[in-house]
Amino acid sequence: MSKRINLSQGKLEKWEESFVPEKDIFFLREQDHHLLKEFGHNCLLFSKEEFSNHPTYAAISYASSYTYWTLAEDITTVVVLPHRVFPSLKDSVKTAILTIQHEIGRGLIFESRYFDGILREPAKSLLLPYEFVSNNRQYIGIQKEVWNQLPKSLKSDLLNRIAYDYDTPGIFDPYVPTESMTSTYVNAYPNEHGPNCLSSTLFVAASISSGTLLDWIIKEWVHPTTFMNGLKQLGYKEAPLSKDAMFPHDILVWRDNQERIVHASFHIDQHYFFNKNGQTFFNPWKTVHMRELEEQWGMHTVKVYRK
């Protein structure tokens, strides 16, 4: 049986603290440079290249909240502001900048439907300057200064709704095969951004191999080379792929047309996998069937690794 994964109030409170980064970040294209003068002097202007290599803004918290991986390729300039600056800009400027952020795919922009039935005064007036319309849909942008002023009840309700939409339900079925090393994490959300599919897969494989729960690994943001090094260290090798002959503890790895790893998952048994989609705290750890993996990642090339 599949159903929604419950979120505790304690978990929501942890999310509230880190959901919106301390500094506001806005991404601009060449055609948007006329807006640079509107930011004034209390800002930093980065080239796309310098920003990408900056140790502060490459941090998991910034990358996950602003969803760097969804950004358009034609960004040229990145504006970083203390969070008190943006609210002081003219409302027409706010609207223009937030509309651009939606167009280029930046995070912390949400359809107004997420606020239906939970938005009341004074929060309604507070968010009004952050509302805008794009492609005939209404959106609201969130930044730190306004987030700090919203009531806790609204923040909790909003985070609950985002989590509900972000991923598919978990499987709660006593007849689905389980793995003891994953029991603490199945149908649970991380406290922070960062844990991804590669760390989740490597965690199970390493824990089973060592006979010890190596749960520090599951909390890491593991990159592809580190992941492949881990598989080699554990004795995994590429094997012939046959969906009719999957063995317990097999690992599936999906690559795009440029051979970049885009996903990995750990086979428990009977085509059920321990899985995590993405690196945000809205992506839970859960058990999924091979069918769901094929639906989500089937456009990529899959390979199997086996001990």
68-84 pLDDT per residue, tens: 988 999 999 999 999 99
Average pLDDT over residues 29-55: 97
- Does residue 100 register a pLDDT over 60? yes
The verdict on 151 and 174 lying in the same domain is no
- Does residue 1 register a pLDDT over 60? no
Calculate ∠ Cα 239-223-57, nearest 5°.
165
Whether omega for the bond prior to residue 87 falls within 30 degrees of 0, making it cis, is no
- Residue 173's Cβ-side half-sphere holds a number of Cα atoms within 13 Å equal to 14
From 123, 141, 166, the end of a domain falls on: 166
Q: What residues contact residue 37 under an 8 Å CB cut-off, 6+ apart?
A: none
Answer whether 191's CB lies under 8 Å from 52's CB: no
| CATH number of the domain residue 184 falls in | 3.90.1720
From 124, 147, 166, the end of a domain falls on: 166
Q: Determine the structural domain holding residue 255 and report its residue range.
A: 170-306
Per DSSP bridges, beta strands 237-239 and 170-171 are unpaired
Q: Give the three-state DSSP class for 259.
A: coil
From 111, 143, 166, the end of a domain falls on: 166
pLDDT digits (tens, 9 = 90+) for 141-162: 999 999 999 999 999 999 999 9
Q: What residues contact residue 211 under an 8 Å CB cut-off, 6+ apart?
A: none
Lookup: tokens for 196: 């991804």
Q: If phi over 0 gives left and psi between -120 and 50 gives alpha, with beta otherwise, what is residue 21?
A: beta
